[in-house]
Amino acid sequence: MTIPIAVIDYDMGNLHSACKGLEISGALPIVTNSKEKILAAAAVVLPGVGSFDPAMRQLRAHGLVEVIEQAISSGKPFLGICLGLQLLFESSEEGSEPGMGILKGKVRRFCSQPGLAIPHMGWNQLELSKKDHLLWQGIEQPAQVYFVHSYFVDPKDPSIIAAKVTHGDQTVTAAVALDNLMAAQFHPEKSAKTGLKILSNFVKLSSKL
């Protein structure tokens, strides 16, 4: 059975690659900003490419903040990707707009260091914090995934951190998980076999709920 998964369209996401990865993983991606379609789907994905403030303005302009909150509170699996992770938090050093505040904490910028590339771009190793989480089932270690970001989330509650990554001498959050809410700073849809396995795990989780 193909699992219908809503991919939220707010004019800031890399929708094509996210949808392609979900299709390969057994989902039927539905690109939409419709409240009815989002809440009717088996699961929801919030992708994101770009800057924090414009993204939050777009979400609010489309009336999507409340829809996202409803989707998460309903218990259906929710996956944020890259900027889609950062928007779940309260605020960002990248701008002045308030975030959704679904998760407590702030988005921070990497500290400048001699020889440190910012943005953090390319392949890097995941350091799993919740090794038994369903997203990581069947992931071969060490797992390499693909990042493109200059900012990272700093959760107030460290227990929600599902994976970390080290860039320079900074070890930061690479993924979070809290009940049915999951989100990754890296791009699973661009992370080859490992990323597709993560998406496949998400799709399988969506089929069980």
pLDDT value for 53: 97
82 is a catalytic site residue:
yes
User: How is the chain split into domains, by residue range?
Assistant: 3-208
Taking only the tens place, the pLDDT of each residue in 17-61 is 999 999 999 999 999 999 999 999 999 999 988 999 999 999 999
Of the candidate CATH numbers 3.40.50.880, 3.40.630.30, 3.40.50.11810, 1.20.120.550, the domain formed by 3-208 belongs to: 3.40.50.880
- Separation of alpha carbons 176 and 163, rounded Å: 7
Q: Are 7 and 30 in contact (CB under 8 A)?
A: yes
Among residues 82, 120, 149, 167, which one is catalytic? 82
Sequential pLDDT tens for the chain (209 residues): 689 999 999 988 678 899 999 999 999 999 999 999 999 999 999 998 899 999 999 999 999 999 999 999 999 999 999 999 999 999 999 999 999 999 999 999 998 888 788 999 999 999 999 989 999 999 988 999 999 999 999 999 999 999 999 999 999 999 999 999 999 999 999 999 999 999 999 999 988 75
Distance of CA 141 to the CA centre of its chain: 21
**Catalytic residue flag (residue 94):** no
Q: Which tokens belong to 209?
A: 């709920």
Count of C-beta atoms within a 10 Å radius of residue 74:
12
How far apart are alpha carbons 184 and 136 in whole angstroms?
12
The catalytically annotated residue of 120, 149, 167, 187 is 187
Q: What are residue 9's phi and psi, to 5 degrees?
A: -105, 110
Backbone dihedral angles phi then psi of residue 23, each to the nearest 5 degrees: -60, -45
Active-site pick, 120, 149, 167, 189: 189
Helix residue ranges per DSSP H, 74-191: 83-86
The rounded distance, in Å, linking the Cα atoms of 76 and 13 is: 21
